[in-house]
Chain A
Amino acid sequence: AQKITQTQPGMFVQEKEAVTLDCTYDTSDPSYGLFWYKQPSSGEMIFLIYQGSYDQQNATEGRYSLNFQKARKSANLVISASQLGDSAMYFCAMREDNAGNMLTFGGGTRLMVKP
């Protein structure tokens, strides 16, 4: 079974609107972390936000917030006030603390921001 699932291969959003990118995960490890990365066409992986499995509050970093629903095993990324520069691939990833510090990635979502 896939450990990280991103069901939206591509999404459009109007500039200045908010958008939610979906991510569900599967683990039996009680201690884990969830990450979101942005990958522009240059290929670099830009760290956006992190959520630990024991964190009580949803993580926020500027225009990025993570809607963490532990019981549903989902960790959706919310981008507020979209900008043209937000157009990129977005990857959700998980680190299971009992499986070393490696990351397992989802298939990614390509976000396109329309002017």
Chain B
Amino acid sequence: SAVISQKPSRDICQRGTSLTIQCQVDSQVTMMFWYRQQPGQSLTLIATANQGSEATYESGFVIDKFPISRPNLTFSTLTVSNMSPEDSSIYLCSVDQGAMDEQFFGPGTRLTVL
């Protein structure tokens, strides 16, 4: 299975600032996904990031708030812009990998906005 790392693992930020989360995979993958998990909730897909094209955002998520980059097949970033306390969540990236298109997740970034 793919080995996925995320940076930072956690952060505490002030409202109004922005944070960029990095996701690095040890092998080339076509599709990368960004999910958000608000406290006590399940995971919700933010967007799908393919290399060389604009990310595809799910309903309720917009590019101005969550800009995504995908410069190559092993790396992606998600920026949480103009943060508010409601953005406090775990942000996870995932990739398709394996014979059955299993999806594996990075360790997550735990964000707290004060």
Contact = CB atoms under 8 A, between A and B. Distances in A.
B102 A101 contact: no
Secondary structure call for the A interface: strand
Interface size class of A (residues with CB under 8 A): 20 to 34
Interface stretch (A16-24, A66-74, A104-112): A104-112
A25 B16 CA distance: 39
Contact of B108 (A43, A93, A103): A43
Contacts of A108: 42
A45 B100 contact: no
Interface residues of B, number: 26
Given A45-B105, A47-B1, A106 B92 contact: no
Given A52-B100, A100-B48, A43 B107 contact: yes
The winner among A52, A102, A108 for most chain B CB atoms within 10 A is: A102
Interface of A: 33, 35, 37, 42-45, 47, 50, 52, 91, 93, 95, 100-108
Of listed A91, A100, A101, A104, residue having the most chain B CB within 10 A: A101
B102 A103 contact: no
Interface in B1-60: 1, 31, 33, 37, 41-45, 48, 56, 58
Contacts of A93: 43
Contact of B42 (A47, A52, A106): A106
B73 interface: no
A110 to B, nearest CB: 10
Given A50-B100, A91-B42, A101-B48, 7 more contacts: A43-B37, A43-B110, A50-B102, A93-B43, A104-B45, A106-B42, A108-B42
B8 to A, nearest CB: 13
A-B complex: 3 closest residue pairs judged by Cβ atoms: A45-B105, A105-B42, A43-B108
